Amino acid sequence: MSACPCPSFPVTTATGWQPTGLDRTTGPLMFWASVLFMVFFSLMLHLELDPQDTGEWRWEFARLAASIYWLFPTEAALYWLRGNRLTPGHWLGALLPMFRSGARDHEAAEYVWLPLSGWKKVEPELEKYLAVFFRWPMVVIAVLVVPIVGVELLAGELLEENLPARRGLEVLTAIIWVAFTLEFILMISVTPKKLKYVLRHWLEILVIALPMLAFLRTARLGRLARLKDLSKTVRAYRTRGLYARWWRAIVALELLDRVQKLDLDSYLSNLEDQFEEKKEELVRIEQKLEQTRKELAAKQSATSTMSGAAQVPPAVRRVA
């Protein structure tokens, strides 16, 4: 049985639970606001600056991200004033809006809101579901880095002269970053062993962190360009290009790691399927064995009774 990328939730998950307070509205709303912030932030990170570009597009997306940032601390303050339960995850989401997508409800602090599924209880079955759900989509997302690398290798010089084409590749890179970040946040929010998850997914953390380091490295480029400090701008631009190449190499490694896990998961799934079949077969054999033992015991009992009756002397039988 092959692993399905979209399994149904197990019956043990509280599928029908709904919050009674503000979470009914703010749960879905703030999830999508968090994703939107993530998109703006990613575009700000990945729109590259170069000596001929002052970076207006990058800062426009930075302003868009800042324009919705107020929603997140305002939400936390509102719940705090109402006396609702605020977990460390809620405060983290208020300071770093990307983490709001994995925040729990404010009533029981045991449920998260997911698109197409609604409120789901945080339990091991949900972690398994999300791991399987993200398996194939994230492989497809990681594969997107292949055409980016291919275009850069085959048409690097033409790409430098074609700003729209370069912007298209940067947007594609931003989409990849958003997908990896969203997967990591949701998975880390539902797993009980967070440190273990971080240590096992260090490549994914590099995929998320490296563009932010590159952004900090080149954050002064707009000011340098306005100051006409062309030599520093060119040097920083080349440094950013080096970060970008490292990032794509790490994504390629992550892709290989995920493909290998797909093979292992498929093999494990087949073994589990065979194991379940053998268990069912073993149960049937045990039932047949028990039935055969009962039939044999009944037959032996009947034979013993007949044999005992045959051994009684005729005189005894007449007296009886």
Mean pLDDT highest for which of 49-53, 107-111, 184-188, 250-254?
184-188
The kind and range of the H/E element at 9 are none
**Do residue 119 and residue 243 come from a single domain?**
yes
H or E stretch covering 87: none
What mean pLDDT comes out for the span 110-118? 91
| Interatomic CA distance for residues 40 and 65, integer angstroms | 5
Count of the separate structural domains present in the chain:
2
3-state secondary structure of 119: strand
Residue 298 structure tokens: 């009944």
145 or 26, greater pLDDT: 26
pLDDT digits (tens, 9 = 90+) for 43-56: 988 886 554 555 56
250 occurs within a structural domain: yes
Task: Give residue 26's pLDDT.
Answer: 92
Task: Give the Cα separation of 93 and 105 in Å (integer).
Answer: 12
Position with higher pLDDT, 97 vs 216: 97
pLDDT digits (tens, 9 = 90+) for 187-229: 999 999 899 999 988 888 988 988 888 777 766 555 554 445 5
CA distance 316 to 320: 6
> Does 240 lie in the same domain as 285?
no
Domain-embedded: residue 10 = no
Q: Domain for residue 270, yes or no?
A: no
Note the pLDDT tens digit of each residue in 258-301: 777 766 555 555 556 667 777 777 788 888 888 888 877 777 77
Domain match, 156 and 40 both: yes
> Is residue 112 one of the residues assigned to a domain?
yes
CB 138 within 8 A of CB 178: no
Mean pLDDT of 22-48: 92
Q: How far apart are CA 147 and CA 316, in angstroms?
A: 102
- 254 and 296 in a single domain? The answer is no
* Cα separations in angstroms, 6 against 104, 130, 140, 142, 203: 22, 9, 15, 19, 24
pTM of structure: 0.72
pLDDT attached to residue 227: 45
Cβ-based burial of 36 (10 A; exposed 0-12, middle 13-18, buried ≥19): middle
Tokens encoding 315: 């005189």
Host domain of residue 279: 275-319
Is pLDDT of 1 > 70? Answer: no
**Between the ranges 33-37, 261-265, 304-308, where is the mean pLDDT highest?**
33-37
**Helix axes of 124-143 and 163-190: crossing angle, nearest 10 degrees:** 170
Distance CA 135, CA 257 (A): 12
Note whether residue 73 is domain-resident: yes
